[in-house]
Structure 1
């Protein structure tokens, strides 16, 4: 009888799976995300009636990462002050006022077989919030109301909105300054000094950390381009989206859709801007609202300094002026948009990049390439490394797609400052891996970790730096986070194919120096493709850009007298000549592979991997570049 029951249940399971396969797409479109609902009224946000002189924790910033940090600290028994310093009326920041309503999600390597169900790496408070909104895209009013409801239900949180100014109160010290609270100018001009055992900087720009003396890099400074940062975006709102219109989006060529999100329409890249040096369009990311409107994230605006209010204002005006032209183009070129109308643009810009903290650990591209875990991992990511354009000539790039990588607690701990943690996109990530780690779900996980760490550090009577250096205390922090519904585990998966290539050490270094990109499929770097003399000069120039002081020579001088170098196979001798020229070696006889090996700048291991010295592959060239960067320039690329 027992065997018969097993057999019957097996048949039922097979039938269910068959039905899911046949109707999976329909089910996904209709039920995979919760979809639209009746529009909600916006709940008015109220500040606390009175503010205390001191708290256990102050959280600066009301973006999702700050909300997560405040809720986490409060649920861990800490008295919390959550402060908005941007004149906002509602909570949620980028999601609710920047109108970024499509979520860049970190999917776990293992996913449910049921279509439309998701397994995220970032659970905890993010998952709690996500389960109350519409789906992979959400209505901004729903999101704002859920954020506020979660905050107001925590009796340990006092909320203070629309402060005019907030600066850290700092006790100078050696080797670290100590943050002891915030000096705040309230909306009515009243000045208050609020003490705290810990401050969590969720400003998104590391404003508090920078003011306290924490070191950071700006934009792409770490790869030799300090004047460049990713474009900002002004999100547009269009009305008139019926269910039929929504369903038509997913039928467009090279476009995909679920119940609340659409991504595609790559032809938008052909749009001719009225202000081409400042504005450009890319493919459309479309998020559905509950009132028959959609929000479109696709407009790239260049030359905006996010820390300069006047520059931000100018950027918004540029975007507002361009938006009607963009929508008219869409109406003329895509029948799906012919009956839609522009009804507004976001109150705030979507800013992707400003400061990058220098913390106790700095997340690297090598970490993502290796899919590394860490003993102090407090969040995990898997989103593609999406590097948006920095100017109208820059196409942007998808560096690669990791499977899963850990984010150490140490990335939240600033060097030279105590009593402070930094969460969100300004944490201690190199500018390239930041293209993945900047996404909001991961940021909310860092916020939750920071809130729990504040409690643990207070109970132990230790600094965050001391906590980060203690394996016992880190284990306790991770255990506490797991108890609070975060998932801190590394899934089992096969190593990516690219890691098995003989040239992988060189490829990893080249990716970290922004010399090559792998795309969504981790194959575009063409490791086995033939290199050429011109490409190697470009690569050497890229390294020189990062470390100009140690490469005084011009690598292009190695091409003098060579006809059409882009068509000339890269030889080992030509590669050595290019390297020696960039280093500044004078006599030609010093610019040989043997000379560079004798000086310890090239290794025998690398040279032994070169199959044909007269015709180097891209991978073999990357190995040479790695040796020079590591052994000569002393760059940390692994």
Structure 2
């Protein structure tokens, strides 16, 4: 290329560069690069004028809708529902949420439809309050089938809002007034995924695995592992109710009672059969050989439900953790394999059962025990066998100290039979918290005392009494602030308005004359009352 051509080319290149630069400047003036974008990384966005939200800032997190109630009950076990009903009847705003998907706990889902009554040494019925109509109906045959129990539960929970299948996501605590802590609010997710928040004056633990209380700052009390000398934590065996149909109960009863004492003993062992109940028959049940060492068939607690239907509490499953869904499911699977084999054993060995069939399986287990947490007062065996009464009684209890079996002691053991005893309000108040109530099987009792305290009439009456008390003291005092003088008036309300008698009751003290050392050893399990009392020097 000659010199003239080279000058032209250089001029063209220069012109092109100038044009490109002009286009770049014009484009960036019209569309400035966003700070921090790929076009202009690392440059900070200038602050928006005061009170004005930056254009790209995320929207503020929406506050959860907050509901406020007087009493929030977690779980739908029978005992806590008595508290909910009583509090609602007293004019309080009550709500129930339940982590379980289905309503009714051990009674409706576990179909634990054999009710244990509480009676004193003179066989006088100790059941009081709303529970009395249930136990009367069971005894006289009017409440025996699942549908009849469901009707009773529906009436108990009428007009009380209940949400099933919730997931507890957070609990907000704050400093307490008369205790170290108190609960302010709870966040949960509903079964359809809604996020909710609730505030309450009082919170009630009413599940069989402490779904709420276990999330708090709690102290676990020693369990049966300490009594049995086990290194691992193990709870009383769970039960799986056995359901049968096509049983000829009249033939069963007639045959049993027409036998001589010797014949009955040879065929059935110890036991009794009347027109409603079959108890024991341990000679017959002992002959059944289980296929798995985690299950056991003990003596019968059988009830005729009418129309050839029978339900039995006698099948035990060991090492079940009620807080673990997989553990519960595995136990149910074990039962579904074993119970058909037990049916065959019954067909061959019980007159009147030749044509019996399975009548389905329950959806859930009968959970007897979970962790015991420290309460303001922890009930002891000496309280029960000593017929102790308390100034803050919320129940009059009874029933043997019945420790159901574990894998270490499959039959369990009875630690004595109280006449009657008091159950104080303090045994239902979670230690360290102003406003947490433990209902039902969560009662504050040592592992041994729990054998009696756990029975439904005992803790059902306590829950109802507490519900009434909450209504009576609303806006005046807190539960922990109540003194003996306050309880005198509250006991009077309970007796005159609800026919619940908690004062002026005396029981037979079976520990009169015992030394402090003997009482201490009884409470720790070093002394087994039932055997020791026979050899103790008077």
**What secondary structure does 1:425 align onto?**
helix
State the distance in 1 between where 2:376 and 2:190 align. 33
1:471 is aligned to 484
State the distance in 2 between where 1:303 and 1:81 align. 33
State the distance in 2 between where 1:392 and 1:220 align. 10
Matches within 5 A, 1:502-581: 505-519=516-530, 524-525=531-532, 527-528=534-535
Matches within 5 A, 1:14-163: 53-88=67-102, 90=103, 92-109=104-121, 119-133=124-138, 135=140, 138-152=144-158, 155=159, 157-163=160-166
State the distance in 2 between where 1:158 and 1:249 align. 50
**What secondary structure does 2:87 align onto?**
helix
Matches within 5 A, 1:586-625: none
How far has the Cα of 1:124 moved from its partner?
1.0
The C-alpha deviation readout for 1:460-513, integer Å capped at 9, x for no partner, is 1x333223xx112222332232222212145445544xx35x666554333322
Contact 1:280–1:392, Cα closer than 8 Å, also in 2: no
Q: Does 1:271 align with 2:294?
A: no
Query: Which residue among 209, 216, 220 is the counterpart of 1:216?
Result: 220
Query: Which residue among 485, 497, 500 is the counterpart of 1:486?
Result: 500
Contact 2:387–2:508, Cα closer than 8 Å, also in 1: no
How far has the Cα of 1:238 moved from its partner?
0.8
Matches within 5 A, 1:29-428: 53-88=67-102, 90=103, 92-109=104-121, 119-133=124-138, 135=140, 138-152=144-158, 155=159, 157-165=160-168, 168-171=171-174, 176-217=180-221, 219-220=223-224, 223=227, 225=230, 227-245=233-251, 247-248=253-254, 251=257, 253=265, 254-267=270-283, 268-276=285-293, 278-391=294-407, 393-428=409-444
Return closer, same or farther for 1:504/1:239 CA change in 2, 3 Å cut-off.
Answer: farther
State the distance in 2 between where 1:314 and 1:104 align. 27
State the distance in 1 between where 2:239 and 2:194 align. 34
The C-alpha deviation readout for 1:25-50, integer Å capped at 9, x for no partner, is xxxxxxxxxxxxxxxxxxxxxxxxxx
State the distance in 2 between where 1:259 and 1:59 align. 39
How far has the Cα of 1:279 moved from its partner?
1.0
Return closer, same or farther for 1:490/1:429 CA change in 2, 3 Å cut-off.
Answer: farther
1:542 is aligned to none
Deviates more, 1:358-367 or 1:441-450: 441-450
Which of 1 and 2 has greater Rg?
2
Contact 1:249–1:257, Cα closer than 8 Å, also in 2: no
How far has the Cα of 1:248 moved from its partner?
4.1
Q: Which runs of 5+ in 1 are unaligned?
A: 1-50, 112-118, 529-617, 621-638
Return closer, same or farther for 1:393/1:126 CA change in 2, 3 Å cut-off.
Answer: closer
State the distance in 2 between where 1:86 and 1:406 align. 32
**What secondary structure does 1:442 align onto?**
helix
Contact 1:302–1:392, Cα closer than 8 Å, also in 2: no
The C-alpha deviation readout for 1:226-256, integer Å capped at 9, x for no partner, is 5232111111101112342452486355322
Instruction: Specify which structure has the bigger relative contact order, considering alpha-carbon pairs within 8 angstroms and separated by 6 or more residues.
Output: 2
State the distance in 1 between where 2:533 and 2:467 align. 44
- Equivalences, count: 458
* Structure-2-length-normalised TM-score: 0.79
State the distance in 2 between where 1:426 and 1:249 align. 43
Deviates more, 1:389-398 or 1:399-408: 389-398
Return closer, same or farther for 1:402/1:177 CA change in 2, 3 Å cut-off.
Answer: same
The C-alpha deviation readout for 1:505-554, integer Å capped at 9, x for no partner, is 554333322234344xxxx32553xxxxxxxxxxxxxxxxxxxxxxxxxx
Return closer, same or farther for 1:299/1:190 CA change in 2, 3 Å cut-off.
Answer: same
The C-alpha deviation readout for 1:435-462, integer Å capped at 9, x for no partner, is 01101111211211221232244321x3
Aligned-pair RMSD on alpha carbons? 2.6
Contact 2:235–2:320, Cα closer than 8 Å, also in 1: no
**What secondary structure does 1:441 align onto?**
helix
Q: Which runs of 5+ in 2 are unaligned?
A: 1-64, 258-263
State the distance in 1 between where 2:504 and 2:280 align. 31
* Structure-1-length-normalised TM-score: 0.67
Return closer, same or farther for 1:404/1:167 CA change in 2, 3 Å cut-off.
Answer: farther
Contact 1:56–1:79, Cα closer than 8 Å, also in 2: yes
Contact 2:491–2:503, Cα closer than 8 Å, also in 1: no
How far has the Cα of 1:289 moved from its partner?
1.9
Contact 1:139–1:288, Cα closer than 8 Å, also in 2: no
